[in-house]
Amino acid sequence: MKLAIVIEGEQNSGKTSTIKYLLNYQQARLWMKNHIILSNNFNSINVFAEAISSSPTERKEYLPVTLGNSTPDFLIIAEQKGGAFLSSTYAYLNTNSYYIITFKLTNIVGANIWDRWTSPLDEVSRLQARKDEIIKAIINFIKVNNII
């Protein structure tokens, strides 16, 4: 069973920052394979994974073109809300039998962790809360599907 985590939001709403923080990298990379950090208690699980931190709309490239012939077990991707490639991204994920978990960023200032942050301290706090929520969703997916 394959899993896709989609971070959906408007341009410059924090999609890339969320993915970078989740993966604990200083720089977003187009191809991150074979390792994703889950938590201190569950150090890691090796899977064929891809992380794509800029949306297909922003890159002006369909997801299948970016992935080439690969269909990773785990995919984390940024996608632009209302973007020109949004529907094709979800069509690709559905066609390739991904279980899709979508987290939607807003572009408004608010109290929700998926809202825009207002300061560097607020940014770190929200990114950590987002990371925690995404990790919980991944762990739940693993448990529910008896993957390990």
Predicted confidence band of residue 30 (pLDDT cuts 50, 70, 90): very low
Residue 127: CATH number of its domain: 3.40.50
DSSP structure class, residue 77: E
User: Could you identify the residue written with the tokens 């794509």?
Assistant: 52
According to DSSP, residue 119 is labeled S
Question: What predicted TM-score, i.e. pTM, was given to this entire model?
Answer: 0.82
21-44 average pLDDT score: 51
Higher pLDDT, 148 or 99: 99
**Residue 47 banded pLDDT, cuts 50, 70, 90:** low
| Identity at 39, one-letter amino acid code | S
Look at the chain and report how many structural domains it folds into: 1
Q: How far apart are CA 104 and CA 25, in angstroms?
A: 21
Query: pLDDT tens-digit profile of 104-143?
Result: 999 899 899 999 998 988 999 999 999 889 988 988 888 8
DSSP assignment string, 1-70: -EEEEEEEESTTSSHHHHHHHHHT-SS--S---S-EE--SSS-EE---EEEE-S-HHHHT--HHHHHTT-
Range of the domain at 84: 2-144
Half-sphere exposure of 60 (CA within 13 A, CB side): 0
- In the sheet with 74-80, reading across from the earlier edge strand, the strands are 49-52, 74-80, 2-9, 98-104
Report the percent of the chain where pLDDT is more than 70. 84
For the stretch 56-115, pLDDT in tens is: 888 899 999 999 888 888 899 999 999 999 999 999 999 999 999 999 999 899 899 999
**By C-alpha distance, which of 30, 73, 66, 21 is closest to 49?**
73
Q: In this model, does residue 53 exceed pLDDT 90?
A: no
